[in-house]
Structure formats: structure tokens, C-alpha cells
Structure 1
Amino acid sequence: MIDTQGNGLVFLLCIPRSGSSLSTVMLQNHSRIFATQEMWFLMNLVDLSKADSRVYGGSSIIRQFYQAMVSEDVFEKACRSFALEIYNGFLEGSGADFIVDKSPRYYYMLEWLDRLFPQSRRIHLQRNPLSTAASFKKVNRHTGESFDLLQSLNSPKLDMKAVDLTLGLTRLNDYFAEPHSFAYELKYEHLVMRPREELEKLCAFLDISYEQGMEQYGQFVDSTKADMFYSMGVGDPFLSSHQEAHQNSVNNWKEILDRQEVEMYCRVLGANLFHRMGYSEQLREAEQWTGVRVEDNPDQEVLHRLEQQLSVASGCRWQPNYQMKAWKNNGQHPSPMQNGSEQDEPAKRDPALEAMVTIRQLQAALRAADQRLERGYTERERLKKQLASAHSKLQRIKSWIPFGRQISAWASQRRMVRGGKS
């Protein structure tokens, strides 16, 4: 079970489109890990006191309540207790010791994570920024949504995709700038090229043994965990079409992005970030392709504008260049299990409890699938109404055409009577 310090809790931290779905679908195949699709609920907790507008009103009263009556310490303890109930509810009866919270955009509240669960393990998932931007464009093209990288970076209004690709990326690299005993860096490119080797190292970081075949997620599609994972309908829409990791998306950014997009995005990030992330070779390739040398420092004007937009919209205030805090306990860092001698002992499982857990997971999968079907039905009905309206307008326009011809003929006769004068 996860304790108040976060032992047993693993955060997979990255920006969207970095390969977090692929990492999670592999990790969930380990018998001692519970990992499912994106949760995001900690961001909802950290913003709880901001009290968005509700139909029942009282937003100003709620904000005043939190500001005047609830101290920061009490609020933090209450949020920690709520989160523990959620996390441990997932672990109960599952036989797992760890839960992986894979939620892109947790960069939004890194200071909060350090305060809430200081001993949690944190995996920093890295990917070539150009490939990440290309993945945004590819997925949005697949789903029918529009995404223009240049327009996104230049937008006068808040665009979270632009924040992901710039501020989110920079913030995570600042956070993991120094080595930390509770931090681990995982590169997407390495994971798809040698998945077993990377998973073995990742399991060693978590103080558990690698389990045979966990990287071949196609073999686990009939499991309850997989049902719950895919029923959520978020993450990589192409993941279910593959049985195991492939390298098709490693260096396809030139096939998706154009030269102008690559030039501007590299300029906004600056060369130093590519070097710090370990993608100097990819930057050189981009410079050769565009014919433009990228300056070392980022475009501060663009970054400042995006930061201001986010601050106005969310009210969040980040500590500049915030880094992961060191956990102090006389220099000793316990393992997530607290007691290493118990790690290799198989947990005794209650068959009835296991059955109840499986039922709960299947019920959650069914609820998520029902909601997706309901949204699909609602969208289909909306499109049918739009289509009917368009047909109705078309028929009205067609009905005007004969009358229009009569007017034209009548006008011609009038011009002939008046000697061609209207």
C-alpha cells in the first residue's frame, strides 16, 4: 500500500505525445505494478480552491472559504488523504505493490508533487522534441482536429499544445537537471529499439525483477488490466494496432513537419535544450535540412508570452527553474517497499478479494466504454441534424432558382421596352 510519503507510488512524467501510453501498456503487464490510462486528478486537486463557476453558484464563497479558513497545511493533508484513498483503492486486492500514475501535464504542479509525496519514484520520459511535435500533428490529423504548429506557437490566445511543447518541456528538464535517487530517465527511442533491456533497467530502479515478456503487450490484450487500459480511450490512438514496440515513429518528423515549422520550433526552444536532452545529433540534422543555424538560447519573447497566457488562464505561479527537491533522512533513502527483506516474498492473496477487484476493474472498463459510446451517439445525432439542416437549406435554394430565372426574364423584357435602359 502507498504511504503518506509516497512509497509505492510512481509518477511517469512527460509532456503529451512522448510515448507514455507505450511505456504504461508495458509496465502494467508486471504482476507487481498497477498502471492504467491517464488519471490527471491531482491537477484537479491542486486547483480545487480556485472554485470554477458552477450552476449552483457560490464560487466567491468557496474561494473565500479556502483562502480564509483552510490553512495550506490542512489543505495539503486533505488532498494527500484523498489521493491515497484513490491510489490504494486501485491496489487493494490486486497483488500489486506499485501504482503508476501516468498523467502528461503533471509538469503543471511539480512543486505540489514534491510536497505531497516526497518519496514517490519519478520517471522522466524523454523524446526528441521534433518527433513529439510531429506526433501532435499526426494524431490531430487522424482525429480530424486541426493543429498548425506555427499558428499554435504564435497564437494570441492560450494553446495548451504550445505550452506542452515549450514550457512543459523546459520545466521538466529543469526539474530533472540534477541526478536524484528517486528519479530515472527513460528515452522513448531506446525503449522502442531495445524494450526488454530498458524495462529490465526500469524494474531495477523500482527494486523489482523484470518479468518475461512484459514488453510484448499484444500478448496481454485479453487481460482485465488491458480491458481497463483501452476502455479509457485516451493516449495514443495507434497503440492498439500494434502487438509490440516499433521504430516507425522514431525519426519521421521530416515526413510530417515542414521546414518552416522545424526552423521556428527549434528557434523557440534553443539549441541548449536539445543538447541538454541528448538530441544534439537530431538538432544538427534539422539545421542541415532547414539551412538555418539555431541559436543557443530560446526565444524568450515567445516563452514569456506563453507563460503569461497560462498564468492569466489558470492562476498558477511556478518557481523559476524549479528542480526536484532532495529528500532528507540522515542521507538514507529507503526503497519504495520500506522493507527490502519482504520484497521477494510472494503476497498472500484472498481469492474472493481478487475476484472483487477484477469485477471492479471490469465495471470501470464498461463504464468508460459506455461513456465513449454515448459520446459517439450524441455526436452522430448532432451530425445528422446538421446534415438535415444543410439538405433543407439546399432545397430552399433550389426552390429559388426558377423564380430567379423568372426575375431575370422579366428584367430583360423591361430593358428591351426601355431601349436597353434599366
Structure 2
Amino acid sequence: MSTRIAFVVSLPRSGSTLLQKMLSASPDVASSAEPWIMLPFWGMRQVSAGRDVYFHHTAANAINDFIGNIPNGEAAFDRAVGDFARPLYEAAAAGKPVFLDKTPRYYLMLPLLRRALPAARIVVLVRNPLAVLASVCETFNRGRFIWYEYWLDWLEGHRCLAQALREGGPNQHLVRYEHLVSAPSEVLPRICESLGIQYTDHMISGYQTAQLRGRMGDPVGIHSYRSVSGASVDKWQAFFDTTYRRKVAEKMLGMLDPKDLETLGYPLPTLLEALHASPPRKGFDLRSRIDHALGALAQAADFKYLQARWRARQNGDAHAYGYYRTL
């Protein structure tokens, strides 16, 4: 029996590791931390996808020309991506019926995933955008109000996920984080049905025992609770407890298409109402203002690239690998 492939696609900090571990508690599901194995196939054709020692933008143009000069080249490329992925997923499944790939930024390449692996099941996981933003700052930036490395997720992520929900499809299943953590016994059986696996209560009671090899994934949240808890649903509100943070959050929400927010299930008026549900604490919030200024300065100075070059020099590496600048 061939391995069935499933993807969990979301923004970072949306509960994807929790969902992955719950599903991995099934004896029918194999998984690993975050494979990221498919993203290079998207990036190899995106001129602005990154820096590298071989000039990625030039390589992307050359690859696109190469594929464009092949009769039915796009279809051939899609088949080649699928032919690459299937044997790897089958090997990683190690005999289990399903391999689950949880890589949040696959939202960038959902159309390619559907074309290359048309039989794959796709679980789209969404979460309140303000909760995602708060969790990014608290988890990756030690509570500092800095998010500049995640513009891609904020701007492209919400747009791509909304587009995926509008397009739908028989192999796609929508999950809301808030519903997952508040009523897992209702949500999980439906996901299992869509994946063709049997639901067991152990997915909720024993998900912590699921072992995922690899260095990627949730470094904090999955260990914060001993059991599935809805306590995190409104936790974000405490992060936006100052007038300044709320002002910036409003501005960031204004960068998103209200139709996309509506499609995702988080209408703009509802988000704004929740953002201002309680009085802000008094004060100038100097720390957040400094964090904001430092983040803007670091982005303007291309700090990540300078950091990569410094680390390469310290490590004696021949090259400093780049990264994706979103803005």
C-alpha cells in the first residue's frame, strides 16, 4: 500500500506543532519536526526568494527560462516535483499509512503542492492574527515588540491562506486554532476522517508522548501546558496592553485586506473590538518604542545579512548565506 501524504499549513505560531503531535499520536501517522523539503521547489523559481553564493536571482531567471522552453514545461516541472517528494515521504513513513509534513510556510506554495501531489490531504490551520503576532514577539523575540523578520507571514501568509480557503477543494480541511484547543474531541475526529485514519482519545490525552525528530518546531508553547488547553486563546490580549502597542497593531491590521480577514474568520471589526476590550495600562511604553525603533534600524541596515557574514567569518566558512528580505 502506497503512503498517503498530508500537509499541515499555517502561519508560524498558530498551533501547528500541537496539531502535529496530536495526529502523530496515531499509530497510522509518521511525521518529523518540520521537513521544509518542498519549499526549495517554490523558492528556486522566485527571483526575490533569497541570497546565495551562486546569485539566486540569476538562477531563478535561468530556471524559469529553461522550463519555459520545454514543451508543456510547467506540467513536467510539477510532475518532477511530485516524483521527487513521493519516495522521500514513503521512506520517512517507514511503513505507516500516512506521512504528515507540518511546515507552516508551505502556504507560499499551496498551488504547487496541489499540482505536484494532487492526492495529498491539506489541513489549513488558522488563528487570530493578533494572537499570532503576540506569540511571534513573545516566543522568538523574548517579549520584545519586534516582528520585522515576519513581514512575509503577516502580509503574504494571510493572503495565501485566505486564497486557499476561497479555492477550497475536496482534499482540503479547515481547522481553527481556537476551536482545536477549546473542543479537541470535536475537531480531531473530523480531521482524522479527512485523513482516512482512526481517531482515538489518546490523541488528546497522550499527544505529549509523540516524538518528532528534528530541530524545527515549537520551542515553547507545546511545553507550556500538560494537556490541551484553551487558556491560550485570549492570552494575546495581555500583550497588547498599552496604547502604543494597540496603535501599531491597528496599523498592521490595516495592511491586510478586510476580505481576507473575513474569509479567514476573523473580521476586522471583531479584531479591533477585542483589541480595545479592556482599558490600556497607563504609561509612555518606552520599551516598545525603543524595540520598534531598533527593529526598523536593523532592517534598514540589513542586520541579518551583516550577522550572517560575521558568523561565517567567525566559523571560518567560505561563504555567508543570505536570507529572504520581505520588505
Q: Do they superpose with TM above 0.5?
A: yes
Q: Does 1:165 align with 2:161?
A: no
1:266 aligns with 2:214: no
Task: Select 1:33's aligned residue among 29, 36, 48.
Answer: 29
What CA deviation, in whole Å up to 9, does each residue of 1:341-385 have, x standing for no partner? xxxxxxxxxxxxxxxxxxxxxxxxxxxxxxxxxxxxxx9xx8xxx
C-alpha distance after superposition, 1:2-26 (max 9, x if no partner): 57xxxx1111111111110110011
Distance 1:125 1:58 in 2: 31
Q: How far is the alpha carbon of 1:259 from its aligned partner?
A: 1.6
Give 1:112 deviation, angstroms: 1.1
Pairs within 5 Å for 1:334-345: none
Partner residue of 2:100?
A: 100
Q: Measure, in 2, the Cα distance between the counterparts of 1:127 and 1:196.
A: 18
Aligned CA distance change for structure 1 residues 267 and 209 (closer, same or farther; 3 Å): same
Shift of 1:212: 2.6
Taking a change above 3 Å as real, the CA distance of residues 207 and 234 of structure 1, as seen in their structure-2 partners, is closer
Alpha-carbon offset, residue 214 of structure 1: 1.1
The SS at the match of 1:254 is helix
Find the partner of 2:187 among 183, 186, 198. Answer: 198
- Per-residue CA deviations over 1:109-137 (Å, capped at 9, x if unaligned) read 12211210122111110111110111111
- 3-state SS in 2 of match to 1:9: strand
Aligned ranges 1:92-241 → 2 under 5 Å: 92-93=94-95, 96-142=96-142, 147-149=145-147, 152=148, 159=149, 161-217=150-206, 220=209, 226=211, 228-229=212-213, 231-241=214-224
Partner of 2:308 in structure 1?
none
Q: Deviations over 1:267-304 (max 9, x none)?
A: 2225443333223444432355699xxxxxxxxxxxxx
Q: Alignment partner for residue 89 of structure 2, among 87, 90, 95?
A: 87
SS at match of 1:40: coil
CA distance in structure 1 between the aligned counterparts of 2:64 and 2:166, rounded to whole angstroms: 34
| Maintained 8 Å contact 1:18/1:188 | yes
Please state how far the C-alpha of 1:263 moved relative to its aligned partner.
1.6
Residue 261 of structure 1 deviates from its aligned partner by 2.5
Structure 1 unmatched runs, 5+: 153-158, 292-378, 383-422
Q: CA separation in 2, counterparts of 1:127 and 1:103?
A: 16
Number of aligned residue pairs: give it.
269
The residue identity in structure 2 corresponding to 1:92 is: A
TM-score of the aligned structures, taking structure 1 as reference length: 0.56
Q: Deviations over 1:116-161 (max 9, x none)?
A: 012211111011111011111110233x8x6524xx3xxxxxx4x1
- Higher RCO by CA contacts (8 Å cutoff, separation 6 or greater): 2
Query: Percent identity over the alignment?
Result: 25
TM-score of the pair, normalised by structure 2: 0.71
1:90: Cα distance to partner?
0.9
Tell me how far apart the structure 2 counterparts of residues 210 and 238 of structure 1 sit (CA, whole Å).
24
Q: CA deviation at 1:232?
A: 2.1
Residues 2 and 137 (structure 1 numbering): CA distance in 2 closer, same or farther, change over 3 Å? Answer: farther
CA contact (8 A) 2:35 2:101 kept: yes
- Asked if 1:20 is matched to 2:16, the reply is yes
Shift of 1:199: 0.8
In the alignment, the residues of structure 2 paired with residue 181 and residue 77 of structure 1 have an alpha-carbon distance, to the nearest angstrom, of 21
Q: Which amino acid aligns with 1:254?
A: Q
Measured in 2, the distance between the counterparts of 1:164 and 1:65 equals 26
- Which stretch of the first structure deviates more once superposed, 232-241 or 180-189? 232-241
Letter in 1 for 2:146: D
User: Is the Cα contact below 8 Å between 1:40 and 1:103 reproduced in 2?
Assistant: yes
Secondary structure (helix, strand or coil) at the match of 2:204 reads coil
CA drift of 1:178 comes to 4.4
Q: Which residue among 239, 250, 260 is the counterpart of 1:256?
A: 239
| 8 Å CA contact retained: 2:24, 2:207 | no
